[in-house]
Amino acid sequence: MKNSSIRLILFFITLATVAPFYSAHAQDQSGFKRSGKVFVQFFGDYYYKFNGTGDASFSHAQYAQTPKNFNAFDIRRVYFGYTYNFAPKITAKIELAHEGDLLPDGNRGFYLKDAEVDIKDIIPYGNLIVGHTGTPTFATFTEHIWGYRSVEKTLLDMRKFGGSNDLGVALTGNFSKEGILGYTVMIGNGTGAKPENNKYKKIYLELHAKLHNGLILEAYTDYEGGSNGNGTNLATTTFKGFVGYQIPTFTVGVSGVTQTKKNAVMNHTVSANPSGLSIFTHGQLVKDKLNGFARVDLYNPDKLDNYNEHFILFGLDYLPTKNVHFMPNIWVNSYSAKNGAASKKADVVGRVTFYYSF
């Protein structure tokens, strides 16, 4: 496994080295030149956990199982990818990712996150995407408005309401040349980066608007059927709404989500309806040098476990140069017990996050 990851990385390095020489000669009669580009993202932290018992195994929050006073330097994500333009309207992308995954020997591993072909203008203002690609659950729109995935995932990602990518086919675009109203329709396996494990497919539908006054609106839903093999309905349905306001120096957004998981608990006899609300803001403090960000989430897992969770995040974003960020931040996840469960101390973590991309 370790050797496989090394071979994949060496393949990308070779591709990045050879492709420019090939691209220089790949020109059609219209003047189009085939071309490719490597892209990289990296972020990690130094963190120290000030509070919390580290026994919240039910929680999806990152430091829920980290003991108090633990500290470390950590790599949370590395993206290494390549895009290639075959024709003016045909582009391919392949991308490897490390997101904390470990190989059997304990070393960091990579997996295939994206492998797609994009065909532009297959219909007026619409593009067809085939392969392993980002889903409209949060990865293609809301995450960009939040803008600080390097510090923390969006609510839907953090609380596992859905995945960031899937293998399937998507139609995405706008309803007019101005691009004010947009959409994504997608059908996929519903298993993320893993192979399909059942006959059911996941259907995604997203609509959004970016108005001239800075107002941003989004409506999203998805549905995936399911069964336990004995005829019990295990379908999952998600609804999300988002409203925000964005100008070049300031952004604020509110996102709400609710999900129905049919017969998800009590031996497939009781349904669960988890829900969440996320409020965030970020803005410029010193032009091109210093930004600030803050976020509050409320998460109710309903019958999936015995604790509601409340998340707080705030910090500063210092840019010594373009695409390089140092971000001191405070990360807090607290627990509200229900159904007679024992109380839990809040997890409080201080971090200095480092991020770059090219």
Q: CATH for 2-11+50-357, among 3.30.910.10, 2.40.160.10, 2.60.200.30, 3.40.30.10?
A: 2.40.160.10
How many whole angstroms separate alpha carbon 38 and alpha carbon 20?
A: 11
What is the pLDDT at residue 5?
52
Domain boundaries, the chain: 2-11+50-357
pLDDT band for position 229 (50/70/90)? confident
Cβ-proximal residues to 145 (8 Å cutoff; 6+ apart), any chain: 216, 242, 244, 246, 251, 253
Residue 13 has pLDDT above 80, yes or no: no
Are 25 and 342 a contacting pair, CB within 8 Å?
A: no
Structure-derived torsion over alpha carbons of residues 224, 228, 230, 232, reported in degrees to the nearest 10: -50
Q: Provide the token pair at 348.
A: 């409080």
pLDDT band for position 8 (50/70/90)? low
How many whole angstroms separate alpha carbon 239 and alpha carbon 258?
A: 5
What is the pLDDT at residue 143?
97
What is the pLDDT at residue 66?
97
Over the Cα atoms of the chain, what is R_g?
22
Q: Provide the token pair at 262.
A: 């049919």
Q: Provide the token pair at 15.
A: 């591709």
Q: What is the pLDDT of residues 170-194, one digit of tens each?
A: 999 999 999 999 999 999 999 999 9
Residue 127 has pLDDT above 80, yes or no: yes
CA 41 to chain centre: 13
